[in-house]
Amino acid sequence: MTAGDDDLRVRPGKGRSRGSGSVKPLSLAAQVKRAAARAGFARRPGRRAGGTGRLGRGRGAALSGRRSATSRRVIVKARIVRHSGPKFRAAPLARHIAYLERDGVTRDGRDASLFDARSDRASGDAFAGRCADDRHHFRFIVSPEDAGELADLKTFTRELMGDMSKDLGTRLDWVAVDHWNTDNPHVHILVRGVAEDGADLVIDRGYI
């Protein structure tokens, strides 16, 4: 052994294909894209990656991620309902509101009624009328893990929508109704798809 025998230098060469010699090995990035496509996360043509782009409200709040060990766990279902177009079909808003206000869904067995930021008796017809010429509206179902222990889901909902308004940087026009007819009490919230400046309300996907 000479003095230089332990001076080992690794010189990696080009990767070799394990299959046919004519098949070019995939890079790591290409493998990730292929796996994502198989899992259903393929990027759609003409759509920007990463959400709704610069027009989406709430992106900053989504990135801040205000989570803590004492945070309440909540299940949220969100749906954007378009008011026109062959690909977007849903029950008319007025009919959906009538369904939400059906009998037998309240905590005390009384008829259900809509509420909003200021009143416990909001008008569903008036809200549907304000939405008539909008491009879309939002439908949310919010179910806190401790809903059965909360004294008032209306107060919870108003605080939630107040935080949402701050996050999105606009006043929100919304109505809601609390339902107690399942094992998991929950709130249905309808939000008009227009910001206070009259522009379409576009919410960042990451925020939703």
Q: Which residue from 174, 200, 168, 201 is spatially nearest to 187, judged by alpha carbons?
A: 174
Provide the residue range defining the domain that includes 76. Answer: 70-192
Maximal C-alpha separation, the chain: 95
Residue 180 lies in a domain: yes
Least confident of 28-42, 87-101, 108-122: 28-42
Residue 64 lies in a domain: no
The pLDDT value given to residue 163: 93
Residue 203 lies in a domain: no
Number of domains in the chain: 1
How far apart CA 68 and CA 72 sit, in angstroms, is 9
Residue 5 lies in a domain: no
The pLDDT value given to residue 133: 92
Residues 6+ apart with CB under 8 A from 177: 100, 101, 105, 112, 113, 114, 115, 187, 188
* Integer CA distances (angstroms), 71 to 13, 57, 141, in order: 51, 23, 19
Residue 21 lies in a domain: no
Average pLDDT over the chain reads 79
pLDDT of 78 over the 90 cut? yes
Count of residues for the chain? 208
* pLDDT, tens digit (0-9, with 9 covering 90-100), for 119-155: 999 999 999 999 999 999 999 999 988 877 776 889 9
* pLDDT, tens digit (0-9, with 9 covering 90-100), for 167-204: 999 999 999 999 888 888 899 999 999 999 999 999 99
The pLDDT value given to residue 180: 84
Residue 51 lies in a domain: no
Residues 6+ apart with CB under 8 A from 141: 75, 76, 77, 186, 187, 188, 189
pTM for the model stands at 0.68
Residue 110 lies in a domain: yes
Residue 83 lies in a domain: yes
